[in-house]
Amino acid sequence: MGNNMETLPRIILGQWPTPLQETRQLSEILGCRLLVKREDLSGLGAGGNKARKLEFHLAQALAEHATHIITTGAAQSNHAHLTAAAARKLGLQAQLVLNGQSDLNRLSGNLLLDQILEAQITFIEPPISQSNQAYMNEKMRELAHGVALEGGKAFIIPEGGTDALGTLGYIVALQELGVQLEQLHPKVRRVLVAVAVGTCGTFAGLISGKVVASFPFEIDVLGVSISGITEIKKKRTVQLVNDALQLAGSAAKVSLEQIVIEDRFIGEGYAQMTKECGEAIRITAQSEGIFLDPVYTGKAMAALIDKGRAGELRSYDAVVFMHTGGLPLLFHYGLDE
């Protein structure tokens, strides 16, 4: 890892390492040796990948003597609920700025968890004339100002926990995965790691981890987009990777050509179910007893199943699917296709 990684503040919030699980029937379906990295069993809240990012963010928040943690996301944000859980664990107050409207009398999924955690929730609907991200960032700054007026100190975490600091969490994860592969499968020489891509932070962290890793096997990282414009995601990923590498103490850089994103499984957009996603959720549950979600992991697995059926995974000694969590989303959205 980079020279700075051991000295950067980090507070342990999860249970590491997460399991690297073999599959039998799903491997047969995909025509490859498929392993599932169970980030959904990370041990914070309802589990998921955001815990790794929060370990760096909240360590910084504590170093700055924050009393309140403010973050933002969609109404059913996994990141928001995990941020609220982490804040509670550390004795801090959580304030969530969520995009959309909700009937607080009929809560489900992540919103139900937010309420149980007694997070302060502000619902907003950005005007058409302003980007969602800019408007939500403005609202977070307003909340932070209000906290300061009351004598507290707020620490703002961006949507998805996605910035250079949060990206470090998946440099750690890639290192952890590499050690597991060396121990469990010492003859592996070529590995594909596949992950859903939303705000790009986890994807960028895995690529950053690959850059600084020194394992006796080759690692390819495939991102599966779940929404948005691919070229924008690629550019954002490059920026995140290079910023994270610099923060980690590495002089290495990546270019746009090194970023691989599969975008054929987006469907109509964020949280919009597709036939392939529904099929992937059912196949994974019925073959391995593992549940995926209809927003992120279902679409990512749909891409892997498609590539497996097309014979595109046979050149790899192992394919690792990063299960980033999101089970509350399955209960909220269901499988309506």
At residue 16, what are phi and psi to the nearest 5 degrees? Answer: -115, 150
pLDDT at position 3: 74
Evaluate if residue 320 carries a pLDDT over 70: yes
pLDDT at position 185: 85
pLDDT at position 153: 99
Evaluate if residue 182 carries a pLDDT over 90: yes
Work out the average pLDDT over 73-80. 96
pTM: 0.96
Evaluate if residue 263 carries a pLDDT over 90: yes
Lowest mean pLDDT among 20-24, 53-57, 123-127: 123-127
List C-alpha distances in Å: 16 to 84, 153, 159, 172: 20, 30, 24, 10
Contact by Cβ (8 Å): 267, 224:
no
Which residues are designated catalytic?
Answer: 77
The helix (H) or strand (E) run that includes residue 202 is helix 201-212
pLDDT at position 186: 87
Amino acid letter, residue 135: Y
* Mean pLDDT of the chain, nearest integer: 96
Work out the average pLDDT over 120-141. 86
Work out the average pLDDT over 122-150. 89
At residue 15, what are phi and psi to the nearest 5 degrees? Answer: -110, 105
Contact by Cβ (8 Å): 251, 289:
no
Which residues does 111 contact at the CB level (< 8 Å), separation at least 6? 75, 76, 102, 121, 332
Fold designation for 20-48+162-333: Rossmann fold (3.40.50)
Which residues does 252 contact at the CB level (< 8 Å), separation at least 6? 211, 212, 245
- CATH architecture, range 50-161: 3-Layer(aba) Sandwich (3.40)
pLDDT at position 125: 86
pLDDT per position as a tens digit, 271-312: 999 999 999 999 999 999 999 999 999 999 999 999 999 999
pLDDT at position 4: 84
pLDDT at position 81: 98
pLDDT per position as a tens digit, 187-214: 999 999 999 999 999 999 999 999 999 9
pLDDT at position 127: 77
- Calpha distance 158→54 (Å, rounded): 11
At residue 291, what are phi and psi to the nearest 5 degrees? Answer: -100, 135
Q: Which residues belong to CATH 3.40.50.1100 in the chain?
A: 20-48+162-333, 50-161
157-178 burial: b if 16+ Cβ within 10 Å, else e = bbbbbbbbbbbbbbbbbbbbbb
pLDDT per position as a tens digit, 88-114: 999 999 999 999 877 666 789 999 999
**Residue in 249, 244, 306 with CA at minimum distance from that of residue 274:** 306
pLDDT at position 100: 83
